[in-house]
């Protein structure tokens, strides 16, 4: 693959996010219809995905976070496909057009990706994850190193870091994570988040990205959130994770796979300290900070994310 600039340097990197001003949209809108859609059966689960790039190119699997779907990778899918990669951006279990089926614990979700890679006829793949997709990526690197060639994670610390921060009552992170406990309440979170045509989610995406996610794109997200059972499934990920944590299953998750952590430093939900502490659990880690970028870094600073991603892949 030919990146668009020089190689990523080892260690800590910083860049300034390139985002449009509030209320503007300087990029052409990519629509779901601009991508090829596939349904892929993995064991007893039907997974929906956007698939681009040469059929025999190296495989890259993109894992979205909450409350997103495959479309949050719209700027990365085209760039990676143009670089010669077979790029598969999935709706993860329970989201959008993928089957809604329990369980939703991290190990089941990681198993879905393992099954997907094998179903697609590959022995190994690069896995890129954001938010919850990043958590799944870290678990893959720890539990399935044989199938993960490289990891790229966006604004998601290693799961042990966040748990340690909560156990130790590290106040800045505890305050940012209040919603995790709120999501444990049955039914109420789903009712509040779906009220007024998903106004809470729409406002978050528009305001935190300073207009990088526009009204038309919000409409596509609303269609995904409105899929029967999708919102409840997304919240169930949080409930399943808490149960997994309480059972002590998130231990011994050290990662040796070469990894890149891309971090928007204006994250409203995660402290930069959690990014730095990820080094304790990932032996071969580079961190690239993007100044001024939000938690939704691949949507508000896609050019920088794409450059770091392609450089990292080329450097190996």
Q: Would you give the DSSP letter of residue 39?
A: E
Say what the alpha-carbon torsion angle 111, 41, 127, 180 is, to the nearest 10 degrees: -60
Cis peptide before 67 (omega within 30 of 0): yes
Q: Which residues pair with 86 in a beta bridge?
A: 59
Q: CA dist 149 to 78, 109, 123, 225, 305, Å?
A: 21, 18, 9, 32, 19
Q: Which residues does residue 144 pair with via DSSP β-bridges, in sequence order?
A: none
Query: What amino acid positions are annotated as catalytic residues?
Result: 131, 238, 295
Residue 50 DSSP code: E
Let me know the angle formed at the C-alpha of 249 by 247 and 254, rounded to the nearest 5 degrees: 155
Element (H, E) at 37: strand 37-42
Please give the torsion angle defined by the CA atoms of residues 289, 294, 299 and 300, in that order, rounded to the nearest 10 degrees.
Answer: -90
């Amino acid at each position: 693959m030919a990146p668009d600039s020089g190689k990523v340097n080892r260690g800590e990197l910083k860049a300034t996010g390139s985002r449009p001003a509030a209320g503007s949209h300087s990029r052409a809108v990519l629509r779901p219809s601009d991508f090829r859609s596939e349904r892929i059966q993995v064991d007893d689960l039907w997974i929906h995905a956007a698939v681009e790039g040469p059929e025999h190119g190296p495989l890259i699997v993109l894992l979205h976070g909450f409350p997103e779907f495959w479309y949050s990778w719209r700027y990365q899918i085209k760039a990676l496909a143009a670089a010669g990669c077979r790029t598969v951006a999935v709706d993860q279990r329970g989201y959008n057009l993928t089957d809604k089926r329990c369980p939703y614990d991290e190990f089941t979700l990681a198993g879905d990706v393992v099954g997907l890679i094998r179903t697609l006829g590959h022995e190994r793949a690069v896995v890129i994850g954001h938010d919850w997709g990043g958590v799944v990526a870290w678990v893959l690197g720890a539990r399935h190193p044989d199938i993960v060639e490289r990891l790229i994670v966006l604004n998601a610390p290693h799961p042990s870091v966040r748990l340690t921060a909560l156990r130790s009552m590290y106040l800045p992170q505890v305050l940012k994570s209040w919603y995790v406990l709120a999501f444990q309440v049955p039914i109420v979170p789903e009712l509040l988040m779906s009220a007024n045509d998903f106004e809470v989610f729409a406002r978050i995406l528009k305001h935190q990205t300073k207009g990088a996610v526009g009204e038309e794109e919000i409409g596509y997200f609303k269609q995904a959130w409105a899929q029967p059972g999708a919102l409840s499934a997304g919240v169930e990920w949080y409930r399943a994770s808490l149960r997994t944590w309480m059972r002590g299953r998130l231990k011994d998750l050290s990662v040796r796979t070469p990894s890149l952590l891309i971090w928007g430093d204006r994250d409203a939900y995660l402290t930069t300290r959690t990014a730095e502490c990820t080094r304790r659990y990932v032996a071969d880690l580079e961190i690239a900070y993007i100044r001024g970028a939000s938690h939704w870094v691949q949507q508000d600073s896609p050019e920088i994310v794409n450059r770091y991603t392609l450089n990292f892949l080329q450097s190996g």
